[in-house]
Structure 1
Amino acid sequence: MQGLPGQVVNILNYKLFWVLCGAFLTGSIYVIILLIKKIQFSKKHAFARELNRLTDKSKGAAGSELEVYINNLEARLETIITLNKEIRDKIFRMEGQMRVLMSRGEPENTSGSLEERIYRAFDYGKPITEIARETGKDKGEIELILNLRKLKNTSGGEVM
């Protein structure tokens, strides 16, 4: 019986140790969460202060600084748009060249009407200027023939 109170004390000390560890851990997590929220709060306010500084019209230099920044962004956007158009044009030309290269395996059929030769060359990806040069016709004439074909196809074969 004499050992019983000592065992009870040991068990209580052991449980108290883990309770204190849990409380310490919970408190530490709470402090860390508070610090994170404070940092986020200060970052939001720093951003808001910077935005207010840039948009404050009463400060002439800061307002012009924002305008310079916006103009710089607009110039970059224009550059990106121009590059995008150039890339699309290059891809279109490359697709046409690929069609031409793929068609070179087939012998060119010079027989048939002028329209058929123009249709075939265009379908294989030749540029209109090259078709015009090969046929000896004007570029506008080639475009007209191709547009008439498009009209025939969309109207069911009838052209006014």
Structure 2
Amino acid sequence: MNRVAAATVVFGGYTAVMMRLDGRMRAAGGPGIIAFELAGTAARAERITSAWGPDGRRAARQSMWLDFGYMTSYGVLLGLLIDRRSRRQGRRAWLPVVAAVAVAADAVEGVALLRVLDGREVAVNARRARVAAISKFATIALSLGYAACPWPASGRTCR
């Protein structure tokens, strides 16, 4: 099995686990984890954690801890996809480092959200998590766009 296929299988398995936890949060009466990541204020974060109740908060905490492995799985896959596109275009091999930006932002987000769940500096950590989440999502979107179809640099179209 090639590296991209293996990384895709690992990412897919992690995604299934994370979606189950997200389902538990929703079943507990609140939104999924992405709304929590983007809450941005103490009031919104507290509304979400209150709506979840103990079961939802437990699922969110598990999701946050497992997210450290999840971010590694998508970071590796994203790096491999960027590397493959870069090499096909004869570009420098350092471009996969861009995937590390998404992973780093996700790590900052994860630590901040764990602190929110612990009730520690909720306003600061909710805001920090939102900024990190937006950075993560933007970096992932741009990276996937590049990997799937880079912008034509010399009049060439996507191949």
Bin the TM-score by the shorter chain.
under 0.3
- TM value normalised by structure 2: 0.22
- Which structure has the larger Rg? 1
Greater RCO (Cα-Cα under 8 Å, separation 6 or more): 2
- TM value normalised by structure 1: 0.22
